[in-house]
């Protein structure tokens, strides 16, 4: 497995953290898993930086994107996985389109 190059962001690059919004998916104790998938042709792969009160496991199926997670950023390509715990601020910016992804949210 190839190691990802993760870099720490400079202070000026952290402005996206001021735009983080709570994202709420339809999860309950009765339905503790929710799956989302899509294709983005241009722009960010999610509408705004987000955090949520549950875990997320996602993968890029096609294309590339820079993942901003807290104070770090990393280029993600098809086949890369992402796992975040509750409350972790994150955002993606496409760098090679289309970006096709799948995400699983779970309690």
Tell me: the pLDDT tens digits for 6-38?
A: 666 565 566 777 888 888 888 999 999 999 999
Asked whether the beta carbons of 95 and 62 are under 8 A apart, the reply is: no
Average pLDDT over residues 82-89: 94
Q: Which two three-digit tokens encode residue 75?
A: 């280029």
Per-residue model confidence (pLDDT) at position 3 = 61
At 31, is the secondary structure helix, strand, or coil?
Answer: coil
DSSP state of 71: T
Quote the CA–CA distance of 49 and 17 in Å, as a whole number.
7
Per-residue model confidence (pLDDT) at position 11 = 52
Per-residue model confidence (pLDDT) at position 45 = 84
Per-residue model confidence (pLDDT) at position 26 = 87
Q: Which two three-digit tokens encode residue 20?
A: 């983080």
User: Is residue 84 very low, low, confident or very high in pLDDT (cuts 50, 70, 90)?
Assistant: very high
Asked whether the beta carbons of 89 and 69 are under 8 A apart, the reply is: yes
Per-residue model confidence (pLDDT) at position 4 = 61
pTM of the model: 0.79
Quote the CA–CA distance of 107 and 93 in Å, as a whole number.
26
Provide the percentage of residues in the chain whose pLDDT is more than 90: 61
For the chain, how big is the Rg over CA atoms in Å? 14
């Amino acid at each position: 497995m190839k190691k990802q190059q993760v870099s720490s962001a400079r202070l000026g690059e952290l402005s996206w953290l001021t735009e983080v919004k709570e994202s709420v998916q339809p999860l309950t104790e009765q339905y503790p898993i929710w799956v989302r998938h899509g294709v983005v042709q241009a722009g960010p792969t999610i509408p705004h930086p987000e955090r949520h009160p549950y875990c997320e496991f996602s993968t890029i199926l096609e294309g590339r994107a820079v993942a901003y997670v807290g104070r770090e950023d990393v280029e993600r390509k098809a086949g890369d996985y992402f796992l975040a715990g509750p409350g972790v601020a994150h955002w993606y910016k496409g760098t090679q389109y289309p970006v096709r992804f799948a995400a699983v949210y779970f309690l």
